[in-house]
Amino acid sequence: MRQPIIAGNWKMHMGRVEQAVSFARQIRQALNEVEGVDRVLCPPFTVLTAVAEAMQHTQIALAAQTMHWEEMGAHTGEISPVMLSELCDYVILGHSERRATGSTAETDQSINLKVHAAFAHGLTPIICVGENLEQNEAGETHAFVGGQVRAAFDGLTTEQALRCVVAYEPIWAIGTGKAATPTDANRTIGLTVRGAIAESFGEEVAQTVRVQYGGSVNVDNIASFMAMPEVDGALVGGASLKPDFVELVRRGAGASIG
């Protein structure tokens, strides 16, 4: 049995401390009461401490949205695993919005370094993978996403591999209102994500790792994803910024077949 996990990725929203804390207080009691699903909030760095305080004495976990792999050093503006380890339990790594471009772009290689660094500091990585529209239409999803998974898991021990959370987020489904079909998400997670893990770590590990779907998940479609046997949760963007995120999590927990 895999315990489902639903995470709300706030991205670069809820930026003012007062706004973030007020929203966190608004949802915390009801969110804390939902059973049968791990609940995670992923606020921006600058409000992480304040939201962590607001979530004290609840079972709601926090995640950072990225981090550097080094513990310390001359990396202006970066956030290290040491800085995060007292504040949160999880860290999102390799989100497609960070893999994309720019000097801080995350690559398969740097994501793998970050996965190792996360474990070295007691953080659980939520590893994001997913193909773009062109790759999807060219039938390259299996090869591309499988490669991302293999690269991220490279060199992990079995115990570490078991603890990883993977988020399959097709890029064309993120923020577009055009989610993957639950059947397609189920197939890619089962065949491609678990398939790639099984190649290196065996079928038992592949069947134990929790894999979320992400991309235009909302209160109306969450149940259809959670009802899929390979889908263990969701990484939610836009819909996690509204109070009915609690209802989304409730419906997800209710529909999950674990």
Q: Please identify every residue annotated as catalytic.
A: 95, 169
Q: Which of 148, 238, 248, 251 binds ligand 13P (CB under 6 A)?
A: 238
φ/ψ (deg, to 5) at 37: -150, 135
In total, the chain counts a number of residues equal to 258
Site string for ligand 13P, 1-30 (x = CB under 6 A): --------x---------------------
**Can you say how many angstroms the Cα of residue 205 is from the centroid of all Cα atoms in its chain?**
19
**Which residue's C-beta sits nearest to ligand 13P?**
237
Q: In the complex with ligand 13P, which residue's Cβ is closer, 214 or 252?
A: 214
Distances (CA, A) of 124 to 114, 119, 249: 11, 6, 20
The H-or-E segment that residue 167 falls in is strand 165-168
- Distance of closest approach, residue 11 Cβ to ligand 13P, in angstroms: 7
Beta bridge partners of 90: 63, 124
Give the strand pairing for 210-214 and 165-168: parallel
Of residues 91 and 174, the one with the C-beta less far from ligand 13P: 174
Using an 8 Å Cβ cutoff, are 91 and 66 in contact? yes
* Between 155 and 243, CB nearer to ligand 13P: 243
Residues 167-206 interacting with ligand 13P (rule: CB under 6 A) = 169, 174-175
Residues of this chain that bind ligand 13P (CB under 6 A): 9, 95, 169, 174-175, 214-217, 235-239
